[in-house]
Amino acid sequence: MLGLNIFSLFVLLCIIVGANKLRSIEDTRKRKIVKILLFMVLSYNVLHIVLTSKIPVEFSTVSYFIVPLIVILNLDFLKVWTIYASLMAGTLYYLTMVLVGGSIYHYYPYMSVYTSLFCHGSLLLYGLIELRTVSLQEKERYKLIVGLILMAAWAMYIRPQVTLSSRIFIYEIIDAKIVKSVFQYNSWMILSLYYSILVYLLAQSTRIVIKLNQMVAPMTDECAHLKHNMYHSIPHSPK
């Protein structure tokens, strides 16, 4: 079981190194490579739906469709969502695989594990590249909030059609399963506290991605001009 954890760590390190290498190549070629990877993710998952009739419901599986479509169609006004969704889906998945992947996924078919590693890895690779390439603005956070609300709404809308043959983490989160398993009596106060913390953490995750981007990505002309004006507005003591 530990072998899967180690293998996942190796793949994660390859993704990080690969993202750093791809950033240094010519922009047109880099975007072509990324689009090919995301097209492969989209194609595989469309075929998977056709063959299995399984509806995508998890955050990551929905991202398998949304992120590639936004990138392939060049919908740049939604790029902030593609970066956020890719980083969230890829990072949380690989952290889970590295820490407890063997105990959770050891009974899954090998092909299912490998394709999941590839799909999440492709999203994470894209997210890491774009995080350090595209400059995001704080005012774009509302798109992330709206996206999260739509994700939750989609999961609830299709719930009657979903067959619970395996764990579906988004429903465990929405249903507060961990709280209900710990506390015998689930008062409205405990559940209110749980959902308040959940909303706070999700809101903070959108802020963290924007802040990380502002730390590592090149500044836009607008940001550079604002920083220049702020610097010159501060009175300096004469030398």
Residue pair 98/5 in contact (Cβ under 8 Å)? The answer is yes
114 phi-psi bin (left φ>0, alpha ψ -120 to 50, beta other): alpha
**In angstroms, what CA-CA distances link 223 with 143, 155, 169, 185?**
20, 37, 39, 51
pTM of the predicted model, to two decimals? 0.87
**pLDDT computed for residue 141 by the predictor:** 95
What does the block give as tokens for 198?
A: 């959940």
Instruction: Please compute the mean of the pLDDT values over residues 176-186 and round it to a whole number.
Output: 79
Calpha distance 138→100 (Å, rounded):
34
Per residue in 63-117, pLDDT tens?
999 999 999 999 999 999 999 999 999 999 999 999 988 777 777 788 888 999 9
- Among all chains, which residue has been given the structure tokens 């392939």? 72
Calpha distance 215→223 (Å, rounded):
12
Q: What are phi and psi of 236, to 5 degrees?
A: -110, 140
Calpha distance 223→2 (Å, rounded):
46
- Among all chains, which residue has been given the structure tokens 């300096």? 236
